[in-house]
Amino acid sequence: MNTFSLEFIGWFYTLVCAVAIAAGAAIMLFLHSTGRLQTRYKQYSIWNDIMLMVIWMIGLAGGVGVLDLSQWGQFLLQLFCWMLIALVTTSAASRLYAAHRLSKKITISPREWRGTIIGLTLMVVPIVLFCLATIASLRTEEARRAFGIH
């Protein structure tokens, strides 16, 4: 089975997580500067955004740890991947549930349902498969030796 190199994994997750954190911070600053942040938190809990940032920080730390070949980096990155799988699948499921509830109020055609399901599938499946491939790559014998795990 072909696996990802540890260098690729480390750089990929470090960069993607750093961009996600920066984008999240930029969105928060934009909402604050336009006065919409308080409105957001009247309808939405701040804890959701804090926990999402923590998850991305775990991924960033895991990516840096893998680049450093630290055992904790391997652990954190696997934890991040499992959390991302859970987050993506539950988010997709909640969107389908919301669409189902909306369909009771308005008519959603079978074509629109197919489009929704195909769109969610095109987002969820690649992310889940990439995370599973990352976890498998981090658990190879070669990776265990590189991290000093016997």
Tens digit of pLDDT at every position of the chain (150 positions) = 689 999 999 999 999 999 999 999 999 899 889 988 888 777 777 888 889 999 999 999 999 999 999 999 999 999 999 999 999 999 999 888 887 787 777 777 778 878 888 988 999 999 999 999 999 999 999 999 999 987
Which tokens sit at 60? 């960033």
**Is-contact 9 80, C-beta < 8 A?**
no
Q: How many CB atoms lie within 10 A of CB 78?
A: 17
Look at the pTM and tell me if it is higher than 0.85: yes
**Is-contact 59 74, C-beta < 8 A?**
no
Directed axis angle between helix 110-138 and helix 71-103, to 10°? Answer: 170
Calpha distance 133→61 (Å, rounded): 19
